[in-house]
């Protein structure tokens, strides 16, 4: 898998090309938005905001006018692109570059929604678990952790795509942006989280898992 330094170098180079992945990402992130009850959220945090495309959509169409958004990303190129894109939202939208650690830079029990799309599937097992534990700390009680990631296909075409993807990842992870299929539900013990929504979608043979989990 990619180290943090390799992931930063890759996404610094990849930059705006990230938005070409929308052909398989948009159906999954639309499903997430449809189940994340964003209209009742005041404080929203996104981990791995990329070019700010998702943030622009939710600030324009789904969050209430008073809601604030904070996004972090380890790539300086992504933070710059997201800042430019979110300029019209002024003080409502703040972006920061992170060092790639899995900690959420927010006070305890301060967030209504914590969103991360196609980022956990880049992290090590340990960082994924640290991220989820810190998400639990940073969310308000009943706040929602909203996640989308690559997962394993279950139809003949998507199984073939997953098979090829995993092999490419094993040989040269940068060819697939460092991402590999994971299982989000495995990260969310029912002693700490209530699963409000879970779905698996496979546009163009690429399979994504969508999970909205409430903090208990
Ligand atoms: C596959 S892209 C997804 C971007 C965006 N969320 C989207 O759905 O279009 C992964 C993003 O996560 C960022 N990233 C990778 N590792 C990270 C880490 N450890 N901490 C924060 N951001 C990270 C990358 O720079 C990149 O912007």
The CATH number that applies at residue 15 is 3.40.50.150
Half-sphere exposure of 197 (CA within 13 A, CB side): 18
DSSP summary character for residue 29? H
| CA-based end-to-end distance of the chain | 32
Q: In terms of residue numbers, what domain contains 149?
A: 4-215
* Number of C-beta neighbours around residue 22 at 10 A: 12
Write down the pLDDT at residue 196. 98
**Ligand 1 neighbour 119 (Cβ under 6 A):** yes
Q: Which atom of ligand 1 is nearest to the CA of 10?
A: 25
Q: Is 24 in the pocket of ligand 1 (CB under 6 A)?
A: no
From residue 193, give the alpha-carbon distance in Å to each of 30, 116, 188: 22, 16, 6
- Looking at the structure of the chain, the number of domains it has is 1
Centroid of chain to Cα 42: 19
Among 58, 76, 119, 122, say which to mutate for ligand 1: greatest number of ligand atoms within 8 Å of CB.
119
Angle of helix 22-35 versus helix 53-61 axis, rounded to 10: 40
From first to last of its 216 residues, what are the pLDDT tens digits of the chain?
899 999 999 999 999 999 999 999 999 999 999 999 999 999 999 999 999 999 999 999 999 999 999 999 999 999 999 999 999 999 999 999 999 999 999 999 999 999 999 999 999 999 999 999 999 999 999 999 999 999 999 899 999 999 999 999 999 999 999 999 999 999 999 999 999 999 999 999 999 999 999 999
């Amino acid at each position: 898998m990619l180290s943090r330094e390799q992931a930063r170098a890759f996404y610094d180079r990849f930059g705006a090309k990230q938005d070409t992945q929308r052909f398989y990402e948009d159906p999954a992130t639309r499903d997430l938005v449809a189940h994340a009850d964003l209209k009742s959220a005041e404080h929203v945090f996104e981990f791995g905001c990329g070019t700010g495309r998702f943030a622009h959509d939710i600030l324009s169409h789904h969050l209430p006018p008073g809601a604030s958004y904070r996004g972090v990303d380890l790539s300086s190129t992504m933070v710059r692109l997201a800042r430019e894109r979110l300029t019209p939202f002024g003080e409502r939208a703040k972006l920061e570059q992170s060092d790639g650690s899995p900690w959420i830079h927010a006070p305890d029990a301060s967030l209504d929604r914590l969103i991360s799309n196609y980022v956990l599937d880049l992290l090590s097992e340990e960082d994924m678990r640290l991220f989820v534990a810190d998400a639990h700390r940073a969310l308000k009680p009943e706040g929602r952790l909203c996640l989308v990631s690559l997962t394993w296909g279950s139809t003949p075409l998507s199984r073939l795509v997953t098979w090829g993807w995993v092999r490419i990842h094993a040989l040269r992870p940068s060819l697939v942006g460092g991402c590999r299929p994971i299982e989000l539900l495995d990260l969310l013990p029912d002693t700490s989280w209530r699963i409000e929504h879970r779905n698996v979608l496979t546009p163009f043979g690429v399979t994504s898992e969508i999970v909205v989990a409430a903090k208990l």
